[in-house]
Structure 1
Amino acid sequence: MKKAKSISRSKYGYLFILPFFVTYFIFSLIPLLDTIRYSFYEYYRSGLRIVGPSFVGFDNYINVMGTDFFTYMGNTFTLWIIGFVPQIIIALLLASWFVDVRLKIRCEQFFKVVIYLPNLIMASAFAMLFFTLFSTSGPVNNILTGLGIVNGPIDFMGTPVGTRLLIALMNFLMWFGNTTIMLMAAIMGISPDIFEAASIDGCTPRQSFFHITLPLIRPILTYTLITSLIGGLQMFDVPQILTNGQGNPNRTSYTLIMWLNNLLRAPDYGRAGALSVYLFIVSGILCLVVYKMVNGQDNDAKAEKKAAKKRMKGLKGGN
């Protein structure tokens, strides 16, 4: 009897994923390689005259790596930290409360929708809203003055602390709902039997949270930290609109991407390419550091298990 020929359908899988790779190659990989190439060239506009492109080696990298680079990087990380730390704390608390069966929270779906809604609003609209609310003649100042809390209008955007806190507040409101939903999904993936067993053994809710919940949702926490870090380095629209692209006062809210945007508008493609490469390298290093910090304990535990197995094999071999 003749054997039936096996039918391979793997080619259909390649056909389905082909559009993604074609799109990635055209719109991501080629521009990325082109950006790296231009970073080694002097290519800018001086008045109406275009200078370059002419090869200059690492001159653009040396030129960009100055005082401004570290100042704007410090601004970027400051804005990210004061926005992300409250975000992850509130998101963890809300996720724990909504998932906890003992609390029996009513209208849970309604609250989920409400906390996620700000994530659907464009950052530009958020920035314009806050610019109107917290201006010297805005509703917030009118309310505070009317209640007699302050004697005169407060210039929220006239001080570095006020401007940075407003930007951090906007980033918090826009993203804490998305983070909460993700952490809720992670906690709901934990087997309820684990919590029941811990409760029977006398584990308090606080101990359960720190010793069961947090270790088991570590992969999602890692993902949240990394995506938030990348988003923080790419912070642009909120400070750009709120400060009219100036990063005022005294450029304390001026981020790296705002600087990159101004270099591209000049245009100064060589320095913009070098700055883009620096951002790519910094993002990669920081993401690797975050991953190692969050998952270091798991790797140590795996190494200990492997060492224990080797010792057991050695003991059995000796016997």
Structure 2
Amino acid sequence: MKKKKKSVSYAKWGYIFILPFFITYIIFSLIPLLDTIRYSFFEYYRTGIKEVGPNFIGMKNYVSLLKSDMITYGKNTLIMWVIGFIPQIVFALLLANWFTDVRLKIRGKQFFKVVIYLPNLIMASAFAMLFFTLFSTNGPVNSIMLSAGFIKKPIDFLGSIFGTRSLIGFMNFLMWFGNTTIMLIAAINGISMEIFEACDLDGCNSIQRFFYITLPMIRPILAYTLVTSIIGGLQMFDVPQILTNGQGNPDRTSMTLIMFLNNHLKSKNYGMAGALSVYLFIVSAILCFIVYKLTNDNDPDGSKAAAKAEKRRRRRGLL
């Protein structure tokens, strides 16, 4: 009689190896998230040495936030994100397309990639301090323009709404367009060269090749870039906080939602801070869902569209 060999299952080792991640996630992410949601339903703050709460007040924190300047700060955040993101994605797509085009024969690609990515390695605080010095009333930018005769008196960049928002958007663009460019280069390099060769044989020019081949093929990476950018934009804090010294000047037009949240945390108003965090989570989820729906291709081969067209033809024939 031959003895049956015992089958060895290695499935448990997979669970063992991923267990540390789930333990870390539960302790440092899930539990704080649930605790934040719990705090949002309580009145919990400090005035001096007196501590009030936690007292359950239901949805009052959420109602109070809607009556506050939260919507205005949300608009500020959106405007500064758009100022930074639009040039970021345009420049990233342009550079990624150039660096991956074999016909251009660009030399020193690795060097340029490193240079493009370098701003991403600089801390936001250093960037903010640098721009604060450069664009101050007595800074080098004003001095150069006065010496060249372009202006007659110094420009108060940080004293105007347009100037402050533009500087914040420009800094976000400089810090993140390199990271976006590298990801898009990797996405375009993942496209089969046979597709581009067939495109060239069909007589497509560079513009047609970009819009009809490159963009549709890198749609998943574009969706990922847009989602992460939206989340990062809603969490915009360090650059405007340092550049405006936490005041959101001028006239709080550069105050972001996270700066507003930080003010509640400073005043120990944990209930309002928790409610604002929940609002941010909901807005992020809705925006990411919209982006996913807009960029997700459920019919890559066109079979569903063809079937719908055939049904329409049959209905018209019956009528």
TM-score, length of structure 2 as denominator length? 0.94
1:246-285 equivalences in 2 (<5 Å): 246-285=247-286
Task: Report the Cα distance in structure 1 between the residues aligned to 2:295 and 2:165, rounded to whole angstroms.
Answer: 28
Please, which moves more after superposition, 129-138 or 8-17?
A: 8-17
In the TM superposition, what whole-angstrom CA distance separates every residue of 1:101-136 from its partner, at most 9, and x where no partner exists? 111111110000000000001111110111111111
- Residue 295 of structure 2 corresponds to 294
Task: Report the Cα distance in structure 2 between the residues aligned to 1:46 and 1:129, rounded to whole angstroms.
Answer: 37
CA gap of 1:259–1:147, structure 2 versus 1, over 3 A, is same
Cα shift at 1:304: 3.3
Letter in 2 for 1:88: I
- The answer to whether structure 1 residue 229 and structure 2 residue 230 are counterparts is yes
Task: Report the Cα distance in structure 1 between the residues aligned to 2:299 and 2:121, rounded to whole angstroms.
Answer: 35
Task: Report the Cα distance in structure 2 between the residues aligned to 1:111 and 1:48, rounded to whole angstroms.
Answer: 56
In the TM superposition, what whole-angstrom CA distance separates every residue of 1:156-204 from its partner, at most 9, and x where no partner exists? 1000000000000100000000000000000000011111111111111
In the TM superposition, what whole-angstrom CA distance separates every residue of 1:260-299 from its partner, at most 9, and x where no partner exists? 0010110100010000000000000000011111125648
1:135-214 equivalences in 2 (<5 Å): 135-214=136-215
Instruction: Kindly indicate whether the alpha-carbon contact (under 8 Å) linking 2:237 and 2:259 is maintained by their aligned counterparts in 1.
Output: yes
- Residue 317 of structure 2 corresponds to none
Task: Report the Cα distance in structure 2 between the residues aligned to 1:106 and 1:155, rounded to whole angstroms.
Answer: 42
Task: Report the Cα distance in structure 1 between the residues aligned to 2:19 and 2:264, rounded to whole angstroms.
Answer: 35
- Residue 241 of structure 2 corresponds to 240
- The answer to whether structure 1 residue 218 and structure 2 residue 223 are counterparts is no
Cα shift at 1:209: 0.3
CA gap of 1:94–1:205, structure 2 versus 1, over 3 A, is same
Task: Report the Cα distance in structure 2 between the residues aligned to 1:189 and 1:108, rounded to whole angstroms.
Answer: 17
Cα shift at 1:142: 1.0
Letter in 1 for 2:160: T
Instruction: Kindly indicate whether the alpha-carbon contact (under 8 Å) linking 2:299 and 2:305 is maintained by their aligned counterparts in 1.
Output: no
Cα shift at 1:303: 3.8
Letter in 2 for 1:179: T
Q: What are structure 2's unaligned runs of at least 5 residues?
A: 313-319
Task: Report the Cα distance in structure 2 between the residues aligned to 1:146 and 1:66, rounded to whole angstroms.
Answer: 49
Equivalent residue of 2:151, what SS? coil
Task: Report the Cα distance in structure 1 between the residues aligned to 2:164 and 2:224, rounded to whole angstroms.
Answer: 29
- Residue 105 of structure 1 corresponds to 106
In the TM superposition, what whole-angstrom CA distance separates every residue of 1:44-102 from its partner, at most 9, and x where no partner exists? 01222000000000000100112401100000000001100000000000000000011
In the TM superposition, what whole-angstrom CA distance separates every residue of 1:200-248 from its partner, at most 9, and x where no partner exists? 1111110010000000000000000000000000000000000000100
Letter in 2 for 1:304: A
Letter in 2 for 1:229: I
Task: Report the Cα distance in structure 2 between the residues aligned to 1:89 and 1:66, rounded to whole angstroms.
Answer: 37
Equivalent residue of 2:251, what SS? coil
Instruction: Kindly indicate whether the alpha-carbon contact (under 8 Å) linking 2:62 and 2:272 is maintained by their aligned counterparts in 1.
Output: yes
Letter in 1 for 2:32: P
Task: Report the Cα distance in structure 2 between the residues aligned to 1:299 and 1:270, rounded to whole angstroms.
Answer: 47
Task: Report the Cα distance in structure 1 between the residues aligned to 2:238 and 2:265, rounded to whole angstroms.
Answer: 16
Equivalent residue of 1:187, what SS? helix
Equivalent residue of 2:180, what SS? helix
Aligned-residue CA RMSD (Å): 1.8
Task: Report the Cα distance in structure 2 between the residues aligned to 1:196 and 1:283, rounded to whole angstroms.
Answer: 40
Please, which moves more after superposition, 5-14 or 50-59?
A: 5-14
Equivalent residue of 1:43, what SS? strand
Task: Report the Cα distance in structure 2 between the residues aligned to 1:241 and 1:156, rounded to whole angstroms.
Answer: 15
Task: Report the Cα distance in structure 2 between the residues aligned to 1:59 and 1:52, rounded to whole angstroms.
Answer: 14
Task: Report the Cα distance in structure 2 between the residues aligned to 1:26 and 1:307, rounded to whole angstroms.
Answer: 49
- Residue 317 of structure 1 corresponds to none
Instruction: Kindly indicate whether the alpha-carbon contact (under 8 Å) linking 2:40 and 2:275 is maintained by their aligned counterparts in 1.
Output: yes
